[in-house]
Amino acid sequence: MTAGTDRPAGVLTVRVEDPSTFLAHTLPVEVRDAGHRLVAAGSGGWTGPVAPGLYSIVLMGPAGVRLTHLAHVGAGEETAVVLEPSPRVEPPSWPTTAPGTAGGPSAEPEEAAGRPSTSRGLAEAGRAIRPALGPRLLGTERCRVLADDATGWDFVPQRPLDAVPTARFAVGDREWEMSLPLNPAGDDPRLASCRVAVVMESSPVRLQMSFSPERRVATFLEGMRRSRDFGMADAMLPKATELLFWKYQDPPGAVLGGLTLYRLGTLVDRSHWVENLARHAAWIPDGQALLAAVLVLEQDPRRRRHGLDALLAATRHRPLYTDGLSLAMTLLRHWPGDDREEERAAAIERLADLAAYADWNAVNLTTDITPRSTP
């Protein structure tokens, strides 16, 4: 961009700070002038001469939501804007040893591990007190509670996993079952866990899952999925998703990325990656559904059949994400041709009880399991 010629230019410097090197270097930044016209766009920051005046700097933050900072750049002045989206808090008291006994693939820790946390969940700790008659944890499958405080629960997985871990809660007069995106490959609990927080601000009180703050790239995807704001950061989604799989070995995070890419119509060019994901994370049915979504486009009938096999097998288990359930239902309903129609109908019937009672606002599959009186 060029600064105006009638007045001495100023210099605007925008820098993004985040414990994750990947996010700090790739989070998209936009600079808009007083007329809201885009004057510059960058990744992880931007520096350049600008005409004196007012500017808005918009960042797609690490929590997957947009943040805006307004700045006044004077003639001949240098104005620095540092976007540090999350308040820093004390690191959480995680245990030093990983849970479980079985070995797993060694995950490369995200840069955040061992550094001060910028947790949303933990940042909120102390600001709310769970009422005595508030939400209760009723039980867990394939996971255990790592911490239980005033605002929620932290979970870690049993290892190895052969199916999606779940937890059951009572909230008011309802009971809910949540699939939990725990990562058995995370050697450090901080890279394996997730949190279910009590959202006190809502009425009625509800529960919301979030990845542990150290799973920052997964947190970014989760936040973006929750806010439904994909426009600004769609270019970095493929890289973030592949990074989660290959480098951080976080299959639940990678599956969420894959589902987001599918939603945005950009998964089809990544069949090789999807096949790897489905193979290495066979315990996540959503990965099999993603594989089916890619293979349904194949010309080779044997490949399509393989996709349908994967889809039908996936429907025998509880999905991890709401979008995974959604994808499986869509593919079952609209698989081209009459292939195994009865089997597909039976699979729809199996998933229908989840779909009808799913909270479509939740990122992780959350279903109402309140005992129902039979008619």
The footprint of another protein (CB under 8 A) covers 32-39, 52-56, 68, 70-72, 203-204, 227-231, 234, 263-266, 268, 296-297, 322-323, 325-327, 329-330, 333-334, 336, 345, 348-349, 352-353, 355-357, 360-361, 368, 372
For another protein, give the closer residue by CB, 189 or 238.
Answer: 238
Q: Of 321, 150, 296, 357, which Cα lies nearest the Cα of 221? A: 321
CB of 339 to another protein, least distance (A): 13
Q: Are strands 78-83 and 194-199 parallel, antiparallel or unpaired?
A: unpaired
For another protein, give the closer residue by CB, 133 or 356.
Answer: 356
**Cis preceding-peptide flag for 19 (omega within 30 of 0):** no
For another protein, give the closer residue by CB, 192 or 327.
Answer: 327
CB of 266 to another protein, least distance (A): 7
CB of 181 to another protein, least distance (A): 16
CB of 270 to another protein, least distance (A): 15
For another protein, give the closer residue by CB, 129 or 352.
Answer: 352
SS3 for 265-329 is CCCHHHHHHHHHHHHHCCCCHHHHHHHHHHHCCCCCHHHHHHHHHHHHHHCCCCCCEHHHHHHHH
SS3 for 44-100 is CEEEEEECCEEEEEEEECCCCCEEEEEEEECCCCEEEEEECCCCCCCCCCCCCCCCC
CB of 109 to another protein, least distance (A): 32
For another protein, give the closer residue by CB, 314 or 327.
Answer: 327
For another protein, give the closer residue by CB, 73 or 122.
Answer: 73
**356 Cβ neighbours under 8 A, 6+ residues apart:** none
Angle made by CA atoms 319, 184, 247, in degrees to the nearest 5 = 100
CB of 221 to another protein, least distance (A): 15
